[in-house]
Chains A and B, each alone.
Chain A
Amino acid sequence: AQTVTQSQPEMSVQEAETVTLSCTYDTSESDYYLFWYKQPPSRQMILVIRQEAYKQQNATENRFSVNFQKAAKSFSLKISDSQLGDAAMYFCAYFTGTASKLTFGTGTRLQVTL
């Protein structure tokens, strides 16, 4: 079974600084997708970034980028120039067509301080 591990329950970053959230996963599949979702206090799940496993290039979306290490099964999220609005729960998630469902990690609560 696929598992997703987020080892940092809470992280804190100062406004305008950079923070990296960790995620590791376990799978025997070769074709899959990885996602980072943000859940602010409103609890609406928002897709932050996605990575196709077959792509070697790391995905980037504005201030958000990932470090995808397929051999190490690691998928970390880097948030640059952190803003107050980035404060939220961040969930790493894994998807494969075999199971056709998302598997979520336990989440990391990110605090952004002035």
Chain B
Amino acid sequence: QVQLQQWGAGLLKPSETLSLTCAVYGGSFTGYYWSWIRQSPAKGLEWIGEINHSGSTNYNPSFKSRVTISVDASKNQFSLSLNSVTAADSAMYYCARLHGITAPYWGQGTLVTVSS
């Protein structure tokens, strides 16, 4: 059974950088793309981007200028970095395996609040 466990800072000030990490347990890490998603009342569910084990990435154009997704395949982990955050980036952030026609798996979510 695949499990995703995520962690990172939950309270940020405007202009800081959001950093979250997701660890994958069980199943294969290679051969899949691993995603970050966020959800806010204003914007609903937004797919941020994805990465595979070799570091190939795809980003949502809405975030492309501010986001970096990285991978540490030796630890079965991938990370999200979003710079220059504002209050509009306050949301629940999720990591997930969303790959083709395969069963999706999601992390538990991390609430991120941006406030001065």
The answer to whether A and B come from one shared complex is no
